[in-house]
Amino acid sequence: DAMVIQNPRYQVTQFGKPVTLSCSQTLNHNVMYWYQQKSSQAPKLLFHYYDKDFNNEADTPDNFQSRRPNTSFCFLDIRSPGLGDAAMYLCATSRDIGRKGETQYFGPGTRLLVL
Amino acid sequence: AQSVTQPDIHITVSEGASLELRCNYSYGATPYLFWYVQSPGQGLQLLLKYFSGDTLVQGIKGFEAEFKRSQSSFNLRKPSVHWSDAAEYFCAVGANTGFQKLVFGTGTRLLVSP
């Protein structure tokens, strides 16, 4: 089945220690998104890639970076995690941008714990 | 800018009873509207979406939603709830021009009692 895969499902890191979360997709979609979801809150978009074009949300901290080496993979890098960065990180994909009713397909998420 | 309000943080429904989850949106034009479900520790799964046409939309797992422009609402309904429906439900609105950023509501947690 075509899908969105996130690894690892759970990640523990230390305060200030860089961490990378991984997302891959077999849907061959052009767009990949990263969301942050804190406990009991709505998912919040951090940034997205349209093909190789990176688009950062205005309020995404500089501490968060992303890489997309090819169509299938996208990485979220947190350069110096703080306690406030503990959250579920969701990766999503969509076929395109701006098409009517374009659906985003979500992965299972990676839960990040910062000690 | 678009926004979504889900006024109910928690709802408890008896198994077999009907369900309605409320969603109100704010957007200047005709929005794209979505309902997603999130089981504990899982990602979001699309239940249904509306972008034009018939205002009553059918989705997966027996869910439906009705778009009411006059009330700026997109409420989710199910006639008979199953224990497996217990989850968090998110309503989301997308702009219909340019980059279709999704803005999510804060979610409603559904509990199903025996």
In this prediction, residue A39 has a pLDDT band, given cuts at 50, 70 and 90, of confident
**With 70 as the cut, is the pLDDT of residue B75 above it?**
yes
Q: Which of A43, A100, A109 is facing B104, going by the closest CB pair?
A: A43
CA distances from A46 to A28, A98, A109, B96 (A): 21, 18, 14, 20
Interface with B, mutate which of A54, A106, A111, A113 (most B CBs under 10 A): A106
Contact A101 B101 (CB under 8 A): no
For the segment A43-68, what is each residue's pLDDT rounded down to a tens digit? 999 999 999 999 999 899 999 999 99
Residue A82 pLDDT: 95
Query: Does residue B11 register a pLDDT over 70?
Result: yes
Dist. CA A51–CA B17, nearest whole Å? 45
Chain A hits for B108, CB-CB cut-off 8 Å, are none
CA distance A73 to A34: 12
| Nearest chain A CA: its distance from B63 CA (Å) | 17
